[in-house]
Amino acid sequence: MFETLTPPPQDRIIDIMGLYAADARPEKVDLGVGVYRTEGGRTPVMAAVKAAEARILQAQESKGYVALAGDAGFHAAMRGLILGDAVTPERVAACATPGGTGAIRQVLEMVQRLTPQARIWVPSPSWPNHAAIIGHLGLTQVDYRYYDVDAGGVDRDGMLADLAGAKRGDIVLLHGCCHNPTGADLAAPDWVDLADVFAATGAIPFVDIAYQGFGDGLDEDAAGLRSLAARVPEMLIAASCSKNFGLYRERVGIVLAVTDLGQARAAAAAMLAHLNRQSYAFPPDHGARVVETILTDAELTAQWRAELDAMRTRMTANRRTLAEALRAETGSDRFGFVAAQRGMFSLLPVTEAQVAQLREDHAIYLVSDGRMNVAGLTAETIPRVARAIAQVLA
């Protein structure tokens, strides 16, 4: 029967991983997949993670199942990290998932059950897995204007105008911080304007936060999400610990459903646990346990924060250095947005053919839409990357 299968659609980011791995040129530069890298090109296990793992290895006496929604200590730690004290804990249902992708999937599964007719509003552009999962579940996607290519920033007016067309029960997907792929984030007043849109339309915000701590800091990166949570009656959050804890392959994520008081929280919690059961029963525990161990210990938290600060500082410095190098190479300020944006990604104004040229002629790997992972740059490669970009654009 398998011969009747049609090939599934490719993921352009995963495609680039394969092309890069197969390239034998020693000077190759990987600016593709969204994985943090050190100046030495490594994606190390964070020291705080190693220390937490050592403690867990010592203390853990059972590998027995935990609970369908994962561990309550992990829920509480993540609720604090993401929401701070924006809403009372009694309003938040939580459920551990395999990665942020698992959280997105479970949120959308819940939406499909609750309101299959809901439209899912997605920023243009967005992470390709959003559209993939929405389509896979047979939900309806509507794109809203988000990125202003010429300004290198958010098309705030376009976004608000489009979202005014949302209906009660529609879901509006927002990136909590470090927008993937553009690096253009909402400013504090934009989140307040969005709260007004939700009040006026009755649509429900769904915030995907996969890079908390990679933009301006842990609290700074969650400030918009928190201000929205404090203003709306209901909100969905899908969070990932892949990047900020470097736990990519452990698959650590969480759904937080901010509910109205009363029965709603218990109903949401029960449905999320049920949805876990339908897909894989118990979510992975090890990475979640590492996160909980770090966040509930002052010393480990301080160590982790310092490591995260260093990662963020490196990415911000790479942005500045590359923007300066591009200014020198091109004699224009058109790449100033690279320094102004935040997180791992910026979208370069290059065509797919120019991306191919960078890859073939210069061994520089970007995603086909022009997305660049700034963590993949180093002091050594930045001058060469800037020169190559200027050359293919000339």
Q: State the residues that interact with ligand PLP by CB under 6 A.
A: 34, 99-101, 127, 175, 180, 208, 210, 240, 242, 248, 253
> Which DSSP state fits 191?
H
Contact 345, 374 (CB under 8 A): yes
Minimum CB–partner distance for residue 334 and ligand PLP (Å): 26
Smaller CB separation from ligand PLP, 153 or 246: 246
User: Per the residue annotation, which of 71, 162, 185, 208 is the catalytic one?
Assistant: 208
- What, of ligand PLP, ligand TYF, none, does residue 200 touch, CB below 5 to 8 Å by kind? none
Q: Which of ligand PLP, ligand TYF, none interacts with 182 (beta carbon under 5 to 8 A by kind)?
A: none
Stretch that binds ligand TYF, among 11-19, 104-112, 325-333, 358-366 (CB under 6 A): 11-19
Pairing of strands 140-145, 204-209: unpaired
Strands 371-373 and 345-347: antiparallel
Among 106, 180, 318, 321, binds ligand TYF (CB under 6 A): 180
Q: How far is the CB of 193 from ligand PLP (least distance, A)?
A: 22
208 a catalytic residue: yes
Pick the binder of ligand TYF from 9, 10, 14, 353 (CB under 6 A).
Answer: 14
Q: Please report whether residue 33 would count as binding ligand TYF according to CB under 6 A.
A: yes
Catalytic residue among 203, 210, 223, 339: 210
Residue 240 contacts which entry, ligand TYF, ligand PLP, none (Cβ below 5-8 A, type-dependent): ligand PLP
* Minimum distance, C-beta of residue 108 to ligand PLP, in the bound complex (Å): 12
Of 33 and 239, which CB lies nearer to ligand TYF in the complex structure? 33
- Residue 243 a catalytic site member: yes
Q: Which 93-152 residues touch ligand TYF, going by CB under 6 A?
A: 127, 129
**Is 121 among the residues known to form the active site?**
no
Is residue 13 at the binding interface for ligand TYF, with CB under 6 A as the rule? yes
User: Are the C-beta atoms of residues 171 and 203 closer than 8 Å to each other?
Assistant: yes
If you count them, how many residues does the chain have?
Answer: 394
Residue 11 binds which of ligand TYF, ligand PLP, none (CB < 5-8 A, kind-dependent): ligand TYF
Q: Whose CA is closest to 214, among 172, 185, 256, 252?
A: 185
Is residue 33 within 8 A of residue 13, CB to CB? The reply is yes
20 binds ligand TYF (CB under 6 A): no
> Of 12, 131, 13, 10, which Cα lies nearest the Cα of 376?
13
Is 71 annotated as catalytic? no
Q: Which of 66, 54, 59 is nearest to 95 (CA)?
A: 66
Rounded to an integer, what distance in angstroms lies between the CA atom of residue 195 and that of residue 229? Answer: 9
Closest separation in Å from C-beta 97 to ligand PLP: 9
> Of 183, 174, 227, 95, which Cα lies nearest the Cα of 375?
183
Q: Which of 149, 122, 153, 152 is nearest to 135 (CA)?
A: 122
Question: Could you tell me the end-to-end alpha-carbon distance of the chain, in angstroms, rounded to an integer?
Answer: 51
Residue span binding ligand TYF (CB under 6 A) among the ranges 7-15, 63-71, 89-97, 264-272: 7-15
Q: How many CA atoms lie within 13 A of 44 on its CB side?
A: 11
Q: 20, 30, 31, 34: which one contacts ligand TYF (CB under 6 A)?
A: 34
Question: Quick one: 124 or 201, whose CB is closer to ligand PLP?
Answer: 124
- Give the one entry of ligand TYF, ligand PLP, none that residue 13 binds, where binding means its C-beta sits below a cut-off of 5 to 8 angstroms depending on kind: ligand TYF
CA separation for the pair 18, 65 (Å, rounded)? 36
Please, are residues 370 and 353 in contact by the beta-carbon 8 Å criterion?
A: no
| CB contact set of 185 (below 8 Å; sequence gap of 6+) | 154, 175, 177, 178, 179, 215, 224, 341, 342, 343
The DSSP result for 319-341, as a single string, is HHHHHHHHHHHHSSSTTHHHHH-
Question: What is the CA angle 280-286-289, rounded to 5?
Answer: 115
Q: Which is nearer to ligand PLP, 321 or 365 (CB)?
A: 365
With CB under 5 to 8 Å by kind, the binding choice for 283 among ligand PLP, ligand TYF, none is none
Tell me which stretch binds ligand TYF (CB under 6 A): 9-17, 183-191, 271-279, 299-307: 9-17
* Exposure string for 237-256, b = 16+ CB within 10 A, e = fewer: bbbbbbbbbbbbebbbbbbb
Catalytic positions are: 127, 208, 210, 243
User: Which residues of this chain interact with ligand TYF, rule CB under 6 A?
Assistant: 11, 13-14, 33-34, 127, 129, 180
